[in-house]
Amino acid sequence: MERACQVGVAFHWGIRVTGFDARGAQAGGVYFPCRWLVGADGQNSTVGKWANLSSRPPRTARFGFSRHYAVVPWTDLVEVHWGPGCQIFLTPTGSDEICIALLSHDPQLRIDRALAHFPEVAERLKSSRPLTAELGGVTSLGRARSVVSGHVALVGDASFTVDGITGQGLSLAFQHAILLAEAFAREDLHSYEIAHGEISRAPWRMTRLLLLMDRSAWLRRKVLRLFAGNPALFSKVMSAHMAEAAQESLKATEVLGLGWQVLRA
């Protein structure tokens, strides 16, 4: 934020953008003329709808809930626990608190009830107390028809959303911002469109694989057994998942090889 202010960004907190046209945006009763308009307004982006870039209906939608608990973290790693039709994530967020997130297809399922599927986690939380309310949201896999139209560009969830299980939403949004800044410098939004497509491919594939594991207990068991027996392979797949450059992702032959190993596991 400090850096943004230093380079001349003006923040107008708590004001909604209520209208756009080809030359600017209307917010808080003031018209802001602009050369470029960036829609960073999340899933169901209004800028996207206005510029006719709207997402196609998401291919999958799940429900996520999160809550912070007062407990001394027992690990500095993020833990992902797979259960029937749901996953629980534990993220240490301080020296004496963790964040628990739940993802499932069931809009009625909440963390307390889901913990019945995760006795080890429930045991660790037994004497902890919740620090926050349980907040929920929809998480889905979907992308805008296009991320650029004239002088309008979309970034972050407005342009492409991955299911929360990938843990990549924020990382992708930051990558979009860097790529878009480079495109502005070149005065060529088309290059952003191309780069956006390239960095979206691997997360799209990985999300589909993870959602397949969510749906199939058979596949989930096979994949987890394979990775448990071959930590080096798990590290390689994780590195490919976190890679920022498209060329660092797994090649098609490697993906096929991985599929074969899963079947044999």
Separation between Cα atoms, residue 167 and residue 101, nearest integer Å: 11
| Binding segment (CB under 6 A) for ligand FAD, from list 35-43, 141-149, 189-197, 218-226 | 35-43
* Angstrom distance (rounded) from CA 133 to CA 122: 18
Q: Does 41 bind ligand FAD (CB under 6 A)?
A: yes
Q: What is the DSSP string of 28-87?
A: TTEEEE-S-EEE---TT-HHHHHTT-PBPPPSEEEEEEEEEEE---S-SS-EEEEETTEE
Cβ neighbours of residue 226 closer than 8 Å, sequence gap 6 or more: 233, 261, 262, 265
Quote the radius of gyration of the chain (alpha carbons, Å): 21
- Using the structure block, give the residue that is written with the tokens 């999340």: 42
Amino acid identity for residue 117 in this structure: H
CB of 170 to ligand FAD, least distance (A): 3
What's the min distance (Å) between Cβ of 65 and ligand FAD?
A: 7
| DSSP E strand boundaries for 95-235 | 97-104, 129-130, 135-143, 148-149, 152-154, 160-161
By CB under 6 A, residue 242 contacts ligand FAD: no
The least distance separating ligand FAD from the CB of residue 16, rounded to whole angstroms, comes to 4
Is residue 249 helix, strand or coil? coil
Contacts of 244 (CB under 8 A, 6+ apart): 171, 175, 199
Other Cβ atoms less than 10 A from the Cβ of 130: the count is 14
Residue 185 C-beta: closest distance to ligand FAD, Å: 21
Name which of 102 and 258 has its Cβ closer to ligand FAD: 102
Query: 50 or 227: whose CB is closer to ligand FAD?
Result: 50
Residues 155, 48 contacting (CB under 8 angstroms):
no
List the x/- string, 149-168, binding to ligand FAD by CB under 6 A.
-------xxx-----x--xx
Encoded one letter per residue, x for contact with ligand FAD by CB under 6 A and - for no contact, window 44-83 reads: --x-----------------x-------------------
Give the binding range for ligand FAD (CB under 6 A) out of 36-44, 104-112, 187-195, 211-219. 36-44
Nearest approach, Cβ of residue 103 and ligand FAD (Å):
6
Shortest distance, position 263 Cβ to ligand FAD, whole Å: 29
| 68/226 with CB nearer ligand FAD | 68
Size of the site for ligand FAD (CB under 6 A): 20
Within residues 162-221, the interface with ligand FAD by CB under 6 A covers 164, 167-171, 173
| Contact string (CB under 6 A) for ligand FAD, positions 84-103, x = contact | -----------------x--
Sign of CA dihedral 97, 111, 241, 144: negative
Segment interacting with ligand FAD (CB under 6 A) among 34-42, 122-130, 179-187, 235-243: 34-42
The answer to whether 184 and 36 have CB atoms below 8 angstroms apart is yes
Positions in the binding site for ligand FAD (CB under 6 A): 16-17, 40-42, 46, 64, 101, 137, 139, 156-158, 164, 167-171, 173
